Amino acid sequence: MDLTNEQLVKNISALLENARNKVVVAVNQTIVLTYFEIGRMIVEDEQNGENRAEYGKAVLKDLSLHLSARFGKGFSVENLDRMRFFYKTYSEEISSTVLTNSQNQISHTPSAKFNLSWSHYLKLMRIKDNNERKFYEIESYKNNWSLRELQRQYDSALYIRLSLSKNKEEILQLAEKGQIIEKPKDLIKDPYVLEFLGLSEKPHYSEGDLESELIDKLEHFLLELSNGFTFVGRQQRISFEEKHFYIDLVFYNRILRCSVLIDLKIGELKHQDIGQMQMYVNYFDREKRLEGENKTIGIILCQDKSEALVQYTLPEDNDQIFASKYFTVLPSKEDFINILNSDNGKTS
């Protein structure tokens, strides 16, 4: 195949892939809107029954029997009840913009679009807190999370980790816009959850082991870090006065337009570790930072830390160096909330 034909194949393939993706999105959206409308019809019919609970059960059984006979799988009593619950969960937000015309065809304004798959909404509608549910819905769409990734981010309490350090107005912003990165602190999580490394099976591991596993699972680590990260390198050497130092991991954040240095520590954080990161950050700012780029950010990932040690080692106006814990085992949601509340001086 000559170069001209090769380029033609690439262009046509890209066009077809784009069309295929659009079809998938359109099909998913139509399915979800249809299920929403089915849920609306069931709820409104229920409200006309004298004994609503018993009437509702009978209606679902009858519907399931007739719809399954005509349309096949997907209309069990359980699934119909999920559609009913889906409508009740989202009705206050968008029901006024979803309409059924006289031919029973669904029409909707752009604001009524569901952008995720039905499987995503089955997970989302089980999240009781409205703000938390909206946050995960926005982040799933923005970051193209698979259902598995949505489940993982929820299990790792991403919303709670981000919201604990925010005021009421900032928490509301999470629900309305998702995670917004405008300053260095917005990039930081505390703790980070690295359960995808599988290190829980090892009774002992070194900082080198941790680094190697992070590189091997780089795609997962980038998702845990946040938006806009690109990997630059590992064990980057900096040298002066014939002395050599090695930075564990170097990233670049495209949103903040700055380098991000990560140092890995096994065990408890020491003040020398913070001083070392300060040196790395200063070196990058003075020797590596390009014109137009923002100041370098340093993150120390450690198993344990003293908030007082961090507070009194770093300057009061610090906005470049951060220390965060990491977990290699995913706690239960309840244990996670207790841990986070405890670390932030709260009681559950």
Beta bridge partners of 246: 237
Res 9: pLDDT: 79
Length of the chain counted residue by residue: 348
- Rounded to an integer, what distance in angstroms lies between the CA atom of residue 290 and that of residue 148? 38
Top-confidence range, 12-21, 184-193, 196-205: 184-193
Number of C-beta neighbours around residue 344 at 10 A: 11
CA angle 73, 76, 78 (to 5 degrees): 140
Closest CA to 320 of 280, 292, 269, 271: 280
Range in 95-99, 111-115, 222-226, 336-340 the model is least confident about: 95-99
Percent of the chain with pLDDT over 90: 47
- 114 pLDDT more than 80: yes
| Reported confidence tier of residue 343, pLDDT bands at 50, 70, 90 | low
Position 277 pLDDT exceeds 80: yes
Indicate the residue type of 249.
L
- Stated pTM of the model: 0.78
CB neighbours of residue 303 within 10 Å: 16
